């Protein structure tokens, strides 16, 4: 799949949360930037997961899932900081974003 066709844009939500004093605030967002991983002979489509200006995850599209629906599409190749894990599978970038935010909030 060509990098330009990679569905890896910033996830926008219209969901608001309320903080402890009742003020509505937007939830934190993860920005997913498309990236080609590897060299010309073995490149893979990936995304850099960026939170608050820092790379917290490198996600790679599962090679079996370029045309799949309702299956695992992304795996965590490498996480950094609070997201320091490898090999987790996600059905979508929304699922990856939820996991990233939960990891950051917990630490």
Give, in order, the Cα–Cα distances in Å from 79 to each of 5, 33, 66, 105.
Answer: 24, 15, 23, 15
Beta bridge partners of 24: 18
pLDDT of residue 102: 93
pLDDT band at 81 (very low <50, low <70, confident <90, very high): very high
Q: Give residue 80's domain range.
A: 3-106
pLDDT of residue 28: 63
Quickly list H helices, 1-107. 93-106
Quick: pLDDT tens for 32-65: 999 999 888 888 889 999 999 999 999 999 876 5
Please tell me whether the overall predicted TM-score, pTM, comes out greater than 0.85 for this model.
no
Domains in the chain, number:
1
Residue 17 has pLDDT above 50, yes or no: no
């Amino acid at each position: 799949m060509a990098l330009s066709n990679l569905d890896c844009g910033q996830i926008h939500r219209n969901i608001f949360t309320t903080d402890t004093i009742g003020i509505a605030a937007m939830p934190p967002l993860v920005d997913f930037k498309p990236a080609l991983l590897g060299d010309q002979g073995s490149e893979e489509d990936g995304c850099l997961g960026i939170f608050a200006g820092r790379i917290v995850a490198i996600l790679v599209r599962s090679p079996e899932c370029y045309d799949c629906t309702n299956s695992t599409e992304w795996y965590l190749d490498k996480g950094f900081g609070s997201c320091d894990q490898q090999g987790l599978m996600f059905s979508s970038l929304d699922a990856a974003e939820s996991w990233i935010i939960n990891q950051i909030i917990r630490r």
